[in-house]
Amino acid sequence: MAKLPVDQELAWKEMVIPNDLRAAAGTERAIVEEVERHGYGADATFAIRLAIEEALTNAIKHGNSNDPSRRVFVRYAVDARRAVVCVRDEGKGFNVEEVPDPTAPDRISLPNGRGIMLMRAYMDEITYSERGNEVRLVKVKQ
């Protein structure tokens, strides 16, 4: 966990969405469209879509505990070099280092727990805030 970079040079877009997976789908579409507009390739777009999906689902279901009164805050910036997406929930946070390995023999058959692993695999950078309620995802354009 770390203090998240401020990235002042980026042109951020921000949205606040209800704690609802359908609303999240609209946010995901907007970001993926932005990525595609900037000419990111199919592999990068696939990776970004998957990582955003996992980050938003985690924020809604785990961070915000599926509480419909809570909100999810999304900031994103896409340019010719990289796509940066930050997702913050209103929960108390968590310690990402304590998330168990979903590939362990006693966990491989469990239906949950793979979101963070997939974000780590597909993003070039993933950073959690000190509190753990915000994740910053970076994908470098190849």
Partner 1 sequence: MTDEQAHLKIHHSQGVHLVELINRKILEESSISQIGDQLTQLVEANPQIKLLLNFAQVEHLSSAALGMLITLRSKVEGTNGQLKLSDIRPQIYEVFKITQLYKLFDIHDSAAEALRRF
**Using CB under 8 A as the criterion, which residues of the chain lie in contact with partner 1 when the complex forms?**
21-22, 25, 28, 42-43, 46, 49-50, 53-54, 57, 102-103, 108-112, 114-115, 117-118, 121
Least distance CB 10 / partner 1 (angstroms):
26
Residue with smaller CB distance to partner 1, 2 or 111: 111
Least Cβ distance, residue 3 to partner 1 (angstroms):
27
Q: How far is the CB of 106 from partner 1 (least distance, A)?
A: 13
Query: Residue 86: enclosing H or E segment and its boundaries?
Result: strand 82-89
User: How far apart are CB 43 and partner 1 at their closest, in Å?
Assistant: 7
CA distance 142 to 127: 20
**CA dihedral over 73, 29, 116, 140, signed as positive or negative:** negative
Residue 136 in tokens = 């910053």
Q: Which H helix or E strand runs over 116?
A: helix 115-122
For residue 19, give both structure tokens: 């704690």
> What token pair was written down for 92?
């108390």
Comparing CB distances to partner 1, the nearer of 10 and 30 is 30
CA dist list (Å): 6 to 9, 11, 38, 141: 9, 12, 22, 20
Nearest residue (CB) to partner 1, 5 versus 100: 100
Q: Which is nearer to partner 1, 25 or 79 (CB)?
A: 25
Alpha-carbon distance of 82 to 35, in angstroms, equals 9
Output the smallest distance, CB 7 to partner 1, in A.
Answer: 26
Our CB check for partner 1 shows the closer of 53 and 89 to be 53
